[in-house]
Structure 1
Amino acid sequence: MPISSSLSARLGAGGAVPSPAPAPTRWSPYARPSESRRGGGGGGCTKVCRPPLRLEPATARLLGAAQKAAASRSSCGKEATASDVAAPTLRRRGEQKSNPKPAETNEVLPVEESRGTGGFSFLCTLAGHTETISGISMPMGSDKLYSGSADGSVRVWDSNSGKCVDVIKMGGKIGCMITHDTWVFVGIPKSVEAWNTRTGMKLSLRGPSGLVCSMTIKDEMLFAGTADGRIMAWKFPAEENDSEPVSILIGHERHVISLSASATRLYSGSLDKTIKVWDLKTLQCIETLSEHKSAVTSVLCWDQNLLSCSLDKTVKVWAATESGNHRVIYTHAEEHGLRTLFGMHRVGSTPVLFCSLHNSNRIRLFDLPSFGEMGELSSQKEVKAIELAVVAGGLLFTGDGAGELKVWRWEPATPALAQTPAQQHCASPENSD
């Protein structure tokens, strides 16, 4: 869908975001390179590869500038729900405004204690979306945070002040959103919209017949899972706007709602209860994993293993055998179905696995590989989108079914939880299903 012609100017270059060594790093269904490519065009170009952004303003709008921040500490202990959080709220713990606020203004609370939250402390809520947040993006070299929602809008937030500075109407429900280098990709019905936050370039990738539900990018190929069970593959960067897919991967019978890529394989999770394994060179399905008994809601590559979760209330850890096929080596059971997996590396310690629960307002945090419990994060409703900003302070963002975008801070001084002896190492043969 075309976006407003003023988008190029509004996206801008933004200030560079520092990435000190101690900051945690992310691992998730799509890989983010450790540094930007030369030229900033997302495709390794040393100069601008396409003409400047020229779009049709009649089909979409940008709504207004940032609202006036008027939030202050609540006297009744409710959570923050303001879309216009003052800069000190995000930058310094415990700092509060002393001026009274109007009764109708949303409230901002001080940072919550990190006890029971796996080392994360709550900062604030960014309000504005009215439906499920389906993607969160923080491109490299940008001081803007992007959130996409089923309400059909992408909200642009200033990461220093917490203010919503733009609302981009996409003209349809947003099924997913990812980041790669300086690019933001937005999956909507019948297309993937992509724009470069550094250069302002914009692309529309055509081909899907329905909603784009999941995306990942690997080896200059963009893959998009759709509601009709197909996976579209485009060469990226595309040579022209309105590019058609170079390949269509067919095999799933229902929505492809999660994609993850390893060095040589693409994994797709579907509502048809299966995970399909695709060879990245041939783009052929080489294996179908059918151990889950309900919809597979998220797949995630971790080290040499594959993690998957399902509405069958399990997280499964898969490993490749000598023959190249996959088998389950560990199953973790929950009391609820599971919706989203996300991972974070901690410097000098073991990784953290985030598991959001289906039809619940909780995200469970586990130490890997022990699956030792680390704590929980809460929201209003089920969380679909999780993103980590690799900056000083380690900001984490969670988006839920109520349209609530929460900001958390990772506290690196929190001692790492030791592995639980009672939990079996997921790579041990005796853990096999």
Structure 2
Amino acid sequence: MTTSSLFIYDERETGYRFQADHPFNQERLRLTVDLLRKLGALPESAVRAPQHATDEQLLAVHSTDYIEAVKALSQDQPEEEWLNRVEKYGFDSEDTPYFPRMHEITSLLVGGSVKAVDEVMSGQTEHALHLGGGLHHALRNKAAGFCIYNDASVAIQHARHRYGARVLYIDTDVHHGDGVQWSFYSEPDVCTLSIHETGKYLFPGTGAVNERGEGTAFGTCINIPVEPYTEDDSWLECLEEVLDRVAVHFQPDLIVSQHGCDAHAYDPLSHVHCSMDIYKAMPRLIHRLAHQYSGGRWVALGGGGYDFWRVVPRAWSLLWLEMSDHPMVAQLEREQDMELPLAWLSQWQLHSPVELPTTWLDGKDWAPMPRRQEVTAKNRQTKELAMLYLP
């Protein structure tokens, strides 16, 4: 039996946690799942549990010694020889410290993204969402940016090797999708597109428009680095025009998208000033392109998002509502002030340190950004450069 959309989730995925006060807080998964359930939009029949990724799947992206290091540092009391190598493998910072059972938990997240690919490519479903995934900064030999294994890269390699798929990867996180880009920088059958705040001011410092791929893959890497204080209209203008051109040219068999929701004005780790409007519009755009160019085959992953009370649950829920063709999507077009479920607000406001929004979309009660015209003009120049070598 097939279904149009599947939701890959297991509460064990919330075990991906660093220190208690670390900004990457997987409580956002619980908040999102609870919001969808209280809305009546996530039937149990649509939920599938992930399985752990195998070492063979991890080795398609990561080196043997790195995987051994992750396993060794996952012990309750790692041996001193491995503690002496934490800097080499990227576990020496407060950003991405090692923690007990991290291999077990992270391999489950990777396995969830692989499962999403299998469900879609085997024809069991058209679309699959895995919010526990999207760890796009992890490199072949090193952890980085809160990411230990790169589930997006592993899932894309799985789609290539098992199904022979041409994959278009779309990264909408405010931080450049560097780990995925470098995984496929010389691979012509994978096209990576990332829209993000310019690396001049934000981690990881990469993602310039002149990073275009190499060898036969030149032109299959597209970056759209936008300026700080970019707002909705400029962000969407850049993404829509470039992405339409890329999809027409590349003709993917599968779209894999990463949905970090840290370009919102409330997010504490970036300088972009968008609202919930982009998190309604971007899934709609990708959904349309999937049906136009990849036979409906679409795998969506989570990612960043550090205002996990006010932003992440709404943004990720809007993504699932779009993927699953929920009637509320059309209703939101007519009712801009549509309210969140009262039962959800009542439960979580007791725990939230900030006042929760009561509506799905923002009232945009923050002050408009300065230099709006200048920022928009600069972003248009960047957009033109990003499309320079596209047909």
TM-score over 0.5 for the pair: no
**TM-score normalised per structure 2:** 0.30
Q: Which has the higher strand share?
A: 1
**TM-score normalised per structure 1:** 0.28
Q: Which has the higher helix share?
A: 2
Which has the higher Rg, Structure 1 or Structure 2? Answer: 1
